[in-house]
Each structure stands twice: as C-alpha cells, then as structure tokens.
Structure 1
Amino acid sequence: MPALLLLLALACTGEGTGDPVRVHVPVGASFSQVADSLEAKGIVRAAPLFKLYARATGDAARVKPGTYAFRAGTGWKTVLHSLVSGDVLTDRIVIPEGWNLAGIAPRIAALTGQDADSILAMLTDSARARALGVPGPTLEGYLYPATYTFPIGVPADTIIARMVNTYRAVWTPERRARADSMGLDEREVVTLASIVEKEARIASEMPTIAAVYHNRLRIGMPLQADPTVQYALGVHRERLLYAAIDSVADNPYNTYRNRGLPPGPIASPSARAIDAVLAPDSARYLYFVARPDGSHVFTRSLAEHNRAKAAAQRERAAARNAAPRADTTGTP
C-alpha cells in the first residue's frame, strides 16, 4: 500500500521531461482509449490506475476532443486539467483585406492539409453558398478578412462557416437598414465595397472612392474599375493596358465594357470598405488617379483627370530617376 500511495503521489504531480508529444483525442473517443494512447506515448504511467483516478475525480467523462501536447511523465492532474479544459493546440490563419477566393483557398488548405484546388471547389460550390445563406453562387466576398485561431485538425467546413459567420456579424441590422435606404441590396453593397477595398491604399480615401463609383452609377457611366478587369484576367497587373482590357471584352466583370456593377464581389471587403459604400463622401468627383505614394487625386471633369494623370506620370518618372542605381562598373 505505501508503494501504491507513492506511485499515485508521483504520478499526479510533475511537469514531465523531454520534447512535447502530440496526442489526438478523436470525437467520441472513450476515456479508456484516451488513457491507453497517453500511456503508449509515454506521457502517463500505469494507465489502469490513471483511469481509476480520472473516474474518481469525475474528469473521465469531461474530456474534450482535439490535439494536445504533453511531455513524457506529465502529472495526471496536469494532463486531466488540459483534457477537460480543452487546452488543445491551435493554428492561426490570416485573411488579408481585399483577398479573393483564389488567394484564400491555399491558406485554408495549409491549415487543413488538403490541396488548394479542393478547397477552392468548396468555396465556389453554389450549394454550400446557399446553405450558408450567402446571396450569390459562390462565397466570393463573404469570407471576412480577419485573423482566426482554430484547433489543429479542424475541418475545412468549420473554418469556412466561421469566416462567413464573422461576415454576418459585420452585416448588422443598422448597415442593412442603411443599404435599404439607399436602394441597395446586400450583394450590391458587398460588390461595390470589394472594388473600393481593392482600389484604396489609404483607408481614409475609401468614402471618396466610393463616392466616385456612386456618382458614375447614378449617371450611367461605366465604373471603369481596374480591379474588376484584373479579376476577369485572373492575374494582377500593375499597369492595365487597353490590350488587356480588350482581351476580356466579353467578360461580365469588365467594367470598361459593361455598365453598372459587375455580377458579384471580386474580393473580401473590410467593414471600413462596406461603411464607405454606405456612407460615401458627398463630393461630385467622377475620376481619380493614383499617385506614387498610394494616394489619389480626385477630379470632376475628364480634362482635369487627364491633367492629374499626366502629373502622376511625371511624379512616377521623377521617382524612378531619383532611385539609386546599382554600380555595374565593378571594382579594380
């Protein structure tokens, strides 16, 4: 009996030694299975006694599934505390603002161990979009950009649903009411917000960029939004030449050739971009051109726009000329 008490005392305490060892607790696993797995990996000793101890404390029925990490010889009390509290290993995934499904899919795939193409197929599945209550044929625009933490081994379905639910939390009754008052539905707001997100390099300019597009829509002028053409092309180009625009002339996302909004979002917009669409600047600008520093010059007439564009080109040329050049002469 003294030897047994000594064993129990030693087994219940201690931080363990060596490198952490991972143990996966499947959904529905019995505590007996969990204890045997822990013993097989050298984490606990005397599994039969460990099972009795866990049942005596009431912890055997409260273990949570997931992937855990313990050192060999970790005390029973410590192990059970982790298993009961669900102190599982986690991974983090960052979805930047303005990313589209083609960019998001590989990040989800890296977390789940699946290939990116299979994840992209899930994200573009119309049945899934309907099941998640998304107002469109795919999830483009509705995976909210944020930093997420998930337990290791979480299925892709859970990740995707969490991202859509986070978007849903952003689409508040107040924002919906504001959209209704403007004569816009949810998909139209998200579509325009995704364009604003892609155009803006400075967040404070979002309401003004949104105003330009609202003004163009109001007078029936094509949006002529470069990001929509790049979406149609499937690649990003720093300079969008007319040849590239013409190469996707029949694509519904070509807003140089088609009036009105494109069929749907081109990326996942932030709450700031959504709010910019719902509360645009009151300015009557119809044009804007990007400067080298990422800011924009906004103008009302085509003549003003052409002058601003020429000035921006001169700024870019001056910046290139001022940039230090590598010494190609060599050294003696």
Structure 2
Amino acid sequence: MKRQPKGTRIRLLLAAFAAATPVAYGFFWSEVRGRGTPDGSSIEVRVPEGATSLEVAGVLAAEGFIFRPRVFDAYVRLKGQGRQLKAGRYEIPRGASYSYLLKVLQTGSVVTTPLTIPEGLRVPQVAERLAAYVGDSTATVLAWLTDPKRIGELGVPGPTIEGYLFPETYRFAEGVGIPVIVRAMVGRYKAFWGTEERARAAALGLDEREIVTLASIVEKEVRWGEERPVVAGVYWNRLERDMLLQADPTVQYALGEPRARLLYRGIDSVADHPYNTYTQPGLPPGPIASPGAASLHAALHPADHDYIFFVARNDGSHEFSRTLREHNNARNRIRLARESAER
C-alpha cells in the first residue's frame, strides 16, 4: 500500500479525531494555542541534553507554557519532530503557541551571552576573559591556547597563536567550550583576509605574519585612532631605511609584563631577546597582541610621509618628527610640560 505523505496523515488523523469527538477536538486545539496571556515578558526554560519530547513537555508544563505534557508530546510526534528538539537555555515569551514552541526547540534558538575581546590584548589576557566566560581556570585555558599544536590545528601563520584571536564581541550559547570559541575568533581573523588584502600585502613585500606583526605594534602604540596609519608609516619608513624599529611595546612583550615606564635598563635586560626591536633588526618574529581591523588596515595602508620618529604627548597623542634633532626637541618639550603639570 502506498504510504501517505506526513502532512496528509496528520490532516486525516485530525479529521478522524474531529469527527469522532468534536468536544475533544476543540479541547485539543484550545490546548495547542498555548497557555497564558502574552504580556511581553519571557520565561527562561532549560531543556536538558537527551530529553525526550515528553520530558521536554514536562519542563514546559512546569514553567506554565502548556497544560498537559502528553498533548504536547502527541503534537510533536504528529509533526514528526520527536527527536529533533534541541537542548539548551531558552527565553520564551508567555502565551507561546505549540507551533512557536516547536519551532524554537527544533531550531535550537537558545539564549546566547556576549563575550567581548578588546583590541590589543595578549594571549594571557584573552585567556583570563575566556576562563571567566566558560567558568574554567585561567591556567587551564592558557595551557590550551599555548599548546604548540594549536598553530597547525587552527591554520594560523604563528609562531604562536598570539595575534590571531580577533578582537570583537561574540555571542555563544551556554556550555560552549574553549575550542568552539577560539575557532570562531580565528575564523573571524581569517575572514579579514580577502583577495584585496592579500594583494596589498604582496605589493608591500610583506607576508601575512609580517602584516599582523606590524599591526600588533601599531595597536599597542596608538590611543588615537586617526594616528594608526601615521604610526604604521613611521615603522614602514624605518624598515625601508634599515633602521631599528625601536618600538617600546615589543620590549614590553620581551619583558613579559607591562611597565608604566620603559627605562634603558629594562631594554638592556632583554638585549638578546628576538622581540627587542632596540637591538634586533626588522620586525620581531611574530605579533605581540591581537590587532583589530583598523590596525590591520593601517599596516596594509601606511600613511605616505617622511616621519621616522614619534613621541607620546600627555594626552596619548603623538608628535611626529623627521630628524633626530626635531625628535629630541619634542621629547624635551613634552617632558617639561609633564613635569610642570605634576608640580
């Protein structure tokens, strides 16, 4: 005998049910319309992993969405969705109908919470935020992030995962683990690199890792967004002239901890470190933090100028100079202004 399509079977069953018991049929559809009066509020519902449709119905009944779990269970089975209800935490409006409940539970439209990773964080700082988000220890998360095999698993240029955890606000469902979160962050980083970006990097004669490294230095140097391309231009000019970059953030990275003021003895203490751009030529081996899209764009499109020095003013902006004499004059002027303000 030819099997009837699912929709036809449902209509036939309901028609037979209606003909046999009109009162029961009316009751069934009254139940299906949902319980309670919509008032704009929502109720949190948690569906456990592996719950049957009847067990899910019990949860909904306990929260006041339906009257009778077995009726909802029958409705779900008639729709052929008995095994399609997804676990998770949901926010469901009061007075939701059976059809709405089934759609939400079938599609897994669970509640998500935001995770914000600001620009310029280093891996240990990212690990702290991830650990707090998933409820794990920072040490455990940091050990996972710094495992050398992550480079191959995630397909990033290396030499570590530093620089490739893209800063942004993400949203994840409850219970999502570190691997899923990190893959989303690295995926967002990879999405930045389109055909145009790769062509631009090639035109500059830099590879992907070098662009991200330069962008990470810019990210750590700049507080005023409009200065990003200008600072990138300074470093680009120094690279072209085979000058040492002398970027303070790279020394801070080599020291392993931030310092309010970088002194010469701090620079000398890591003189042989590959990230010390006061002593080592060219760009360091890899990124020193996670640059955002604006800093990556600045690294790909450095401003065209002839500045080779800059010094930070008291407000976080920078004064740019073309010669060492101009630079020293600017440093002295800013230092005197700082000392005067501190008196």
TM range (shorter): 0.7 to 0.9
TM-score, length basis structure 1: 0.86
| Counterpart pick for 1:236 among 258, 261, 267 | 258
Q: CA deviation at 1:49?
A: 2.3
2:3 corresponds in structure 1 to none
**TM-score after normalising by structure 2:** 0.84
Mapped partners of 1:3, 1:10: distance in 2: 10
Query: For 1:269-296, what per-residue CA distance to the aligned partner results, in whole angstroms no more than 9, with x for missing partners?
Result: 1222112122212212111000012111
In 2: Cα distance, 1:156 partner to 1:264 partner: 23
- Percent identity over paired residues: 47
Q: Higher mean Cα deviation, 161-170 or 68-77? A: 68-77
Following TM superposition, by how much is the alpha carbon of 1:106 offset from its aligned partner in structure 2, in angstroms?
Answer: 1.6
Computed over aligned residues only, the root mean square deviation of the Cα atoms, in angstroms, reads: 2.6
User: Partner of 1:327 in structure 2?
Assistant: none
Show structure 2 runs of 5+ residues with no match: 1-20
Q: Confirm or deny: 8 A CA contact 1:95 1:147 kept in the other structure.
A: yes
Q: Which residue of 1 aligns with 2:199?
A: 177
Structure 1: gaps spanning 5 or more residues:
322-332
Partner letter of residue 13 of structure 1? Answer: G
How far is the alpha carbon of 1:40 from its aligned partner? 6.4
SS of 1:96's equivalent? coil
Q: Post-superposition shift, 1:11?
A: 6.1
Deviation at 1:86, TM superposition (A): 2.6
Q: Is the 8 A contact 1:22 1:67 kept in 2?
A: yes
Q: For residue 162 of structure 1, report the CA deviation from its aligned partner.
A: 0.7
Which aligned pairs between 1:119-134 and structure 2 lie closer than 5 A? 119-134=141-156
CA distance 1:197–1:49, shift in 2 (3 Å): same
Letter in 2 for 1:35: A
Checking the alignment, whether the CA contact within 8 Å between 1:291 and 1:315 is kept in structure 2 is no
Is residue 267 of structure 1 aligned with residue 302 of structure 2? no
In the other structure, the counterpart of 2:331 is 309
> What is the CA distance between 1:67 and its match in structure 2?
2.0
C-alpha distance in structure 1 between counterparts of 2:301 and 2:56, whole Å: 55
Matched residues in 1 for 2:122 and 2:195: separation? 25
Instruction: Give the Cα separation in 2 of the matches to 1:72 and 1:117.
Output: 42
| Matched residue, 2:124 | 102
Question: Does residue 157 in structure 1 map to residue 179 in structure 2?
Answer: yes
Measure how far apart 1:234 and its partner are.
2.4
Q: How many residues align?
A: 320
Amino acid at match of 1:23: R
1:252 equivalenced with 2:240 (yes/no): no
Match of 1:23 in 2: 46
Structural mapping, 1:1-332, within 5 Å = 2=23, 5-6=26-27, 9-10=30-31, 12-15=33-36, 20-26=43-49, 30-38=52-60, 44-69=66-91, 76-321=98-343
Cα drift, residue 36 of structure 1: 4.7
AA at the equivalent of 2:187: N
Question: Matches of 2:205 and 2:52 in 1, distance apart?
Answer: 56
For each residue in 1:232-276, what CA deviation from the matched residue of structure 2 results, as whole angstroms up to 9, or x when unmatched?
A: 222222211112222222322111121111111011112221121
The amino acid across from 2:47 in the alignment is: H
Out of 262-271 and 54-63, give the one that drifted further.
54-63
* 1:180 alignment partner AA: A
Which has the larger displacement, 145-154 or 232-241? 232-241
User: Which region of structure 1 is more displaced relative to structure 2, 71-80 or 131-140?
Assistant: 71-80
> Could you give the per-residue CA deviations for residues 5-47 of structure 1, whole angstroms, max 9, x where no partner exists?
5476246413489993441343x65434533554567764432
Shift of 1:206: 1.2
Kindly provide the CA deviation profile for residues 115-173 of structure 1, in whole angstroms up to 9, marking residues without a partner as x: 12222222222222212110114211111111111112212111111111111111111
* Residue 236 to residue 127, structure 1, CA distance change in 2 (3 Å): same
| One-letter code aligned to 2:205 | G
Query: What's the CA shift for 1:78?
Result: 4.1
> What is the distance in 1 between the residues matched to 2:65 and 2:161?
43
Is the contact between residue 99 and residue 268 of structure 1 (CA under 8 Å) also seen in structure 2?
A: yes
From the superposition, tell whether residues 57 and 222 of structure 1 become closer, same or farther in structure 2 (CA, over 3 Å). same
Query: CA separation in 2, counterparts of 1:56 and 1:7?
Result: 13
Query: Deviations for 1:306-330, whole angstroms, at most 9, x for unmatched residues?
Result: 1100111122223334xxxxxxxxx
Contact 1:229 1:253 in 2 (8 A): yes
Q: 1:71 to 1:202 in 2, by over 3 A?
A: closer
Show CA shifts across 1:192-234 (max 9, x none): 1100111011111111111111122222222111111111222
- Cα displacement (A) at 1:97: 1.1
- Contact 1:44-1:72 at 8 Å conserved across structures: no
